[in-house]
Amino acid sequence: MSESNARDADLSALQINREHKGSVPGRWKRWLHLLWLFVPVILYFVYQVTVATVKPSVEVQTARVQIITGSEAAAELVATGYVVAQVKAEVASKGTGRLKKLNVVEGDSVREGQILGELENDDVSANLELARANLKSVRADSVQSILNLNRQRKLFEAGHITEETIESATASYDKAVAEVEAMKASVRAAEVAVENTFIRAPFDGTVLSKQADVGEMVAPFASAVSSKGSVVTLADMKSLQVEADVSESNIDKVKIGQPCEIILDAYPGQKYPGHVAKIVPTADRTRATVLTKVAFNDIDSRVLPEMSARVNFLPLNNENAAESKPAKVVPKSALTMRNEKPVVFRISDGTAEAVPVVVGRQLGEFTEILSGLEPEDQVILSPAGGLSTGEKVEIAK
Least confident of 92-106, 304-318, 323-337: 323-337
Q: Any idea which fold 58-69+325-395 has? A: 2.40.420
Percent of the chain with pLDDT over 90: 38
Question: How far apart, in whole angstroms, are the C-alpha atoms of residue 84 and residue 211?
Answer: 20
Looking at per-residue confidence, does 242 or 317 come out higher?
Answer: 242
Do residues 231 and 117 lie in contact, with contact meaning Cβ atoms separated by under 8 Å? yes
Whole-number average pLDDT of the chain: 83
Q: What is the pLDDT of residue 318?
A: 58
Q: What is the pLDDT of residue 22?
A: 47
Question: How far apart, in whole angstroms, are the C-alpha atoms of residue 105 and residue 112?
Answer: 16
Intra-chain end-to-end CA distance of the chain, in Å: 97
Q: What is the pLDDT of residue 28?
A: 64
Beta-carbon contacts of residue 368 (< 8 Å; ≥ 6 apart)? 73, 327, 328, 329, 359, 360, 361, 362
Question: How far apart, in whole angstroms, are the C-alpha atoms of residue 286 and residue 309?
Answer: 22
Is the per-residue pLDDT at 365 higher than 90?
Answer: no
Tell me the C-alpha to C-alpha distance, in Å, between residue 208 and each of 70, 211, 238, 325, 350.
36, 10, 14, 41, 45
Is the per-residue pLDDT at 322 higher than 70?
Answer: no
Least confident of 42-51, 193-202, 236-245, 376-385: 42-51
Q: Nearest Cα to 73, choosing from 284, 393, 382, 314? A: 314
3-state DSSP call for residue 26?
helix
Class level of CATH domain 75-87+238-313? mainly beta
Looking at per-residue confidence, does 232 or 326 come out higher?
Answer: 232
Res. 275 pLDDT band, cuts 50 70 90: very high
Digit-coded pLDDT (tens) for 254-272: 999 999 999 999 998 888 9
Looking at per-residue confidence, does 206 or 94 come out higher?
Answer: 206
DSSP state of 334: G
What are the boundaries of each domain within the chain? 58-69+325-395, 75-87+238-313, 94-119+197-235, 121-192
Do residues 119 and 230 lie in contact, with contact meaning Cβ atoms separated by under 8 Å? no
Number of CB atoms found within 10 A of residue 124's CB: 21
Please state whether beta strands 97-102 and 217-218 pair in parallel, antiparallel, or not at all (unpaired).
antiparallel
The arrangement of strands across the sheet holding 205-210 comes to 88-91, 232-235, 205-210, 109-110
Do residues 260 and 312 lie in contact, with contact meaning Cβ atoms separated by under 8 Å? yes
Q: What is the pLDDT of residue 237?
A: 93
Looking at per-residue confidence, does 48 or 101 come out higher?
Answer: 101
| Domain covering 94-119+197-235: architecture | Beta Barrel (2.40)
Q: What is the mean pLDDT of residues 120-133?
A: 90
Q: What is the pLDDT of residue 283?
A: 93
Least confident of 3-17, 29-43, 255-269, 332-346: 3-17
Strand spans (E) along 86-231: 88-91, 97-102, 109-110, 115-119, 198-200, 205-210, 217-218
Question: How far apart, in whole angstroms, are the C-alpha atoms of residue 176 and residue 138?
Answer: 7
| Domain covering 121-192: architecture | Orthogonal Bundle (1.10)
Beta-carbon contacts of residue 190 (< 8 Å; ≥ 6 apart)? 124, 127, 128, 130, 131, 132
Res. 48 pLDDT band, cuts 50 70 90: low
